[in-house]
Amino acid sequence: MGASTSHKNRRILVTGANGQLGKAIQAEAIGMDGISFIYTDYDQLDITQKDSIAAAINAFKPELIVNCAAYTAVDKAEDETELAFHLNAYAPGLLAELCKERDVKLIHISTDYVFDGASNQPYTETDRVNPLSVYGQSKQKGEELVMAAGNAMVIRTSWLYSAFGNNFLKTMIRYGSERSEIRVVFDQTGTPTLANDLAKVLLQIAKFTHIYFVPGIYHYSNQGVCSWYDFAYEIVSSLNLKARVIPITTNDYPAKAKRPQYSVLNKQKISNLLGVDIPHWRKSLMECIEQLQSTINP
Ligand SMILES: NC(=O)c1ccc[n+]([C@@H]2O[C@H](COP(=O)([O-])OP(=O)(O)OC[C@H]3O[C@@H](n4cnc5c(N)ncnc54)[C@H](OP(=O)(O)O)[C@@H]3O)[C@@H](O)[C@H]2O)c1
C-alpha cells in the first residue's frame, strides 16, 4: 500500500489504483499539496472483503475514498456474470455502506453502458437506464447500491483511454503500425475520455470536498461526439501510421456483449458544479499522443 510520507491531515484513499484511472490519478496528483494519498489495489484492499475495507479505513482514516476498482472486461462479463456483479455491484455496495457507517465520503465510477443507446440526444443523469450487457447491468446495480447507502458521488464516464494499461488508443497504434488495414465500427457513437482529464476532476473534488463533494449521480466525458471509426481514424492519421481505417457496422463485427449505439453524455451538471471547461476529445487525444511520444523518444 503506497502512502505519501508527509503527515498531512487530509487523506484520500484510492482503490484499484493499478488500473488505468488509478494510474492517471497517481500521475495527476504528483505535487498536489495538502493531501496524503493512499494508493491500493486488490492485494492491499480487496473491495469484495468487508474486513479488508474496514482494516484500511481504520489504518488510514481517509476523508474520501475514490473507488477505481472494477471488473471492466465487457465481453468476458457475458460469461462471468457472477464475478462481474460481485465486483461491480455488491462490492461497491459494501464499500458504500462501510463509508457511510464511518463517515467517509465516497466517489464511485460508473459507465455510459448503463444506457441502451436508443436516444439521439446526450444522456442526462435523470434519463432512464437500461443496460444491454452484463457489464452494464452490473455497473447499474452498483450505482443503485452505492446511492442507496448514501454519502456518495457516482460519476459515469465513457470510452476511457490514456498512456496507462491497455486501451483502444494503444491497440489502434499497434494495429496501425502492423497492419495494412483496420476495420472499425462507425455505428456506435459516444465520446472518448482521457483518463487524466477525469482524474483532474476527481482531484478537484478531493481537494475541495467542502465545496464540491455533493452526493448524487454525475456525467463526465470529454466534449464532442464521434464513432469508434472516427476515433481510430484520428489516431492513425495524426500519427501517420500505414494502416487504412475502414468503417464497418456492428453487424460486421459481432462482439459477445451488446453495446449502446449512442452513449453521448450530457455534462452540464458536473460542469455547473465544478465550473470547469471540459476539453474536446481531439485536444485531449493530441495531448495523450504527445505524452506517449515523449516517453518513447524522450
Ligand atoms: N475503461 C473504460 O473504457 C471505461 C469506460 C467507462 C467507465 N469505466 C469505469 O471506470 C472505472 C475505472 O476503469 P479502468 O479502465 O481504470 O479499469 P481497470 O484498468 O480495469 O482497473 C480496475 C482495477 O481494479 C482492480 N481490481 C479488481 N478487483 C479488485 C478488488 N476486488 N479490489 C480492489 N481492486 C480490484 C484491478 O486489478 P486487476 O487488474 O489486477 O484485476 C484493476 O487494477 C471503472 O469503474 C470502470 O467501470 C471504464
Question: Where do the structural domains in the chain lie, given as residue ranges?
Answer: 2-165+193-224+263-279
Mean pLDDT of the chain: 95
Distance from the CA of 139 to the center of ligand 1, in angstroms? 11
- Above 90 in pLDDT, residue 19? yes
Q: Which residue has the cell 450530457?
A: 266
Listed in sequence order, the residues at least 6 apart from 170 whose beta carbon sits closer than 8 Å to its beta carbon are: 161
For 243-258, how does the pLDDT look when each residue is reduced to its tens digit (9 = 90+)? 999 999 999 988 999 9
Give the mutation target among 39, 42, 85 for probing the ligand 1 site: most ligand atoms within 8 A of CB. Answer: 42
Which residue, by CA, sits nearest to atom 45 of ligand 1?
109
Alpha carbon distance, N-terminus to C-terminus of the chain: 30
Return the pLDDT at 115. Answer: 98
Record: fold of 2-165+193-224+263-279: Rossmann fold (3.40.50)
Return the pLDDT at 9. Answer: 74
Mean pLDDT within 228-236:
98
Return the pLDDT at 1. Answer: 57
Pairing of strands 226-227, 189-190: antiparallel
Active site residues: 135
Return the pLDDT at 65. Answer: 98
Listed in sequence order, the residues at least 6 apart from 285 whose beta carbon sits closer than 8 Å to its beta carbon are: 169, 192, 194, 231, 234, 235, 238
Pocket of ligand 1 (CB under 6 A): 15-16, 18-21, 41-42, 45-48, 68-70, 72, 87, 109, 111, 139, 157-160, 165
* Alpha carbons 298 and 294: distance in angstroms, whole number: 5
Distance from the CA of 103 to the center of ligand 1, in angstroms? 24
Give the mutation target among 48, 68, 168, 219 for probing the ligand 1 site: most ligand atoms within 8 A of CB. Answer: 68
**CB contact at 8 A, 95 and 145:** no
Return the pLDDT at 4. Answer: 43
* Alpha carbons 96 and 271: distance in angstroms, whole number: 25
- Above 70 in pLDDT, residue 125? yes
Q: Global pTM? A: 0.96
- Above 50 in pLDDT, residue 261? yes
Give the mutation target among 95, 98, 160, 217 for probing the ligand 1 site: most ligand atoms within 8 A of CB. Answer: 160
- Above 80 in pLDDT, residue 298? no
- Measured from the Cα of 113, ligand 1's closest atom is 6
Return the pLDDT at 150. Answer: 87
* Alpha carbons 298 and 286: distance in angstroms, whole number: 17
Mean pLDDT within 57-77:
97
Q: What is the dihedral sign for C-alpha 73, 78, 80, 83? A: positive
- Above 50 in pLDDT, residue 87? yes
- Above 70 in pLDDT, residue 267? yes
- Measured from the Cα of 69, ligand 1's closest atom is 24
For 269-289, how does the pLDDT look when each residue is reduced to its tens digit (9 = 90+)? 999 999 999 999 999 999 999
Distance from the CA of 154 to the center of ligand 1, in angstroms? 15
Distance from the CA of 18 to the center of ligand 1, in angstroms? 8
Distance from the CA of 66 to the center of ligand 1, in angstroms? 12
* Alpha carbons 62 and 58: distance in angstroms, whole number: 9
Return the pLDDT at 193. Answer: 98
Which residue, by CA, sits nearest to atom 21 of ligand 1?
19
- Above 50 in pLDDT, residue 6? no
Largest CA distance in the chain: 56
Flag the least confident range among 53-57, 73-77, 158-162, 289-293.
Answer: 289-293
